[in-house]
Amino acid sequence: MKLKIAIQKSGRLNENSVKLLREIGIEFNSPSGKLRAEALNFPLELLFLRDDDIPQYVADGVADIGIVGENVLLEKQKPVTVKNKLGFGKCRLSIAVDKSFSYSDINDIRNKKIATSYPVILRQYLEAKNIQAEIHEISGSVEIAPGIGLSEAICDLVSSGSTLLTNGLKEVEVVLKSEAVLIANNNLTVEQNKLLDKLLFRIEASKKAKNNKYILLNAPNNNLEKIISLIPGMKSPTILPLAEKGWSSVHSVVKENDFWEIIESLKENGAQGILVIPIEKMII
Ligand code: PRT
Ligand code: ZN
């Protein structure tokens, strides 16, 4: 009894997919050019595939689970279940036009030609907005379409925006925000679901660890309560007396995003020697 996971063979999701599996303790030999690998310490087989094929393979049960971008998943429309968002491969699917195009709202692309590799998602978006436009499906190098006179607009993936910039385009509508997700076949057996739950538990622990930091600081005892209220931690912070009278060492956990918000208040309340340390795994 084992689980088969499909991940991208090469490309933008490959490295982070492999990294995630290693972070949750799955050991395997990275194959060069091979299509499959056996995990050494978990009943898991890895299949390395093109990202576009992953939803179909998971829907058919050739793979039981897979890692793929939401953009691909929504475009392919296969019956699979999304189990978890994975926090990497973040991008947006956006409509862009030539920077000289005077654009005020979506009505400006009514009846225009839009080149895209995502006709399904784009059609749904335009229909929901009641916009009639001509969708021109092309498989790659979408960003050059306006420059060569193929279309007046494009709908393509954007992350930093530099590709649009170098092609003289500007982003005008965000159609979809996307990140990598873990998908599963809809008909897994009870045993397969148990294995999947184990993996999901580990993924959660790894994701939480990334979003949280261990914080240690020295606090004057007269401001201890205020400082504790700023860093309440998982249950409550650990407080240890320092050798120097009137001072305590406070240990807690803070959300990475909150840290910069509270650092000033911590200092105002006399906190010193603040250390922020990455957490490897976190189970609440
Ligand atoms: O060979 P295979 O079919 O498996 O791979 P692929 O070439 O189809 O996909 P790949 O590896 O390019 O991307 C895989 C997935 O990564 C996508 O489906 C998205 O979910 C995610 N992702 C995240 C991105 C980007 N960011 C991204 N920036 N996919 C593509 N891009 C491209 C975009 O198409 C454009 O050409 O990068 C360019 C824009 O980048 P910026 O930074 O200049 O805006
Ligand atoms: Zn692809």
Going from the Cα of 224 to the center of ligand 2, the distance in angstroms, rounded, reads 54
Domain co-membership, 69 together with 184: yes
Q: Which atom of ligand 1 is nearest to the CA of 89?
A: 23
pTM: 0.91
Token pair for residue 235?
């249950």
Domain co-membership, 76 together with 184: yes
Mean pLDDT of 45-53: 97
Mean pLDDT of 103-115: 97
Note the pLDDT tens digit of each residue in 59-68: 999 999 999 9
Domain assignment of residue 284, yes or no: no
**Statement: residue 30 has pLDDT above 80:** no
**Statement: residue 31 has pLDDT above 70:** no
Domain assignment of residue 200, yes or no: no
**DSSP-derived 3-state class of residue 74:** helix
The closest residue, in CA terms, to atom 17 on ligand 1 is: 69
Domain assignment of residue 58, yes or no: yes
Domain co-membership, 96 together with 75: no
Domain assignment of residue 207, yes or no: no
Mean pLDDT of 221-228: 95
| Ligand 1 pocket member 141 (CB < 6 A) | no
Supply the pLDDT for residue 235.
Answer: 85
Residue 73 is part of which domain span? 3-89+179-188
Domain assignment of residue 205, yes or no: no
Sheet with 169-178, strands from edge to edge, namely 134-137, 113-116, 153-158, 91-98, 169-178
Q: How many CB atoms lie within 10 A of CB 59?
A: 19
**DSSP-derived 3-state class of residue 158:** strand
Supply the pLDDT for residue 261.
Answer: 86
Mutate to test the pocket of ligand 1, among 157, 167, 183 (most ligand atoms within 8 A of CB): 157
Domain co-membership, 63 together with 184: yes
Mean pLDDT of 17-39: 91
- Side chain identity at 284, as an amino acid letter? I
Supply the pLDDT for residue 200.
Answer: 98
Here the CATH number for the domain that contains residue 264 is: 3.30.70.120
Going from the Cα of 60 to the center of ligand 2, the distance in angstroms, rounded, reads 19
Domain co-membership, 123 together with 55: no
Mean pLDDT of 200-224: 95
Domain co-membership, 80 together with 184: yes
Here the CATH number for the domain that contains residue 126 is: 3.40.190.10
Domain co-membership, 184 together with 47: yes
C-alpha gyration radius of the chain: 24
Tally the domains of the chain. 3
Burial class (CB in 10 A: 0-12, 13-18, 19+), 139: exposed
The closest residue, in CA terms, to atom 31 on ligand 1 is: 157
Mean pLDDT of 69-83: 98
Mean pLDDT of 82-86: 97
* Mean pLDDT, all residues of the chain: 95
Domain co-membership, 31 together with 147: no
Going from the Cα of 120 to the center of ligand 1, the distance in angstroms, rounded, reads 17
Domain co-membership, 160 together with 98: yes
Supply the pLDDT for residue 33.
Answer: 77
Strand runs labelled E in 99-226: 113-116, 134-137, 153-158, 169-178, 180-184, 212-220
Domain assignment of residue 203, yes or no: no
Domain co-membership, 82 together with 96: no
Domain assignment of residue 195, yes or no: no
Domain assignment of residue 115, yes or no: yes
Domain co-membership, 164 together with 104: yes
| 122-130: long-range pairs with CB below 8 Å, 24+ | 122/95, 122/155, 122/175, 125/175, 125/176
Domain co-membership, 145 together with 216: no
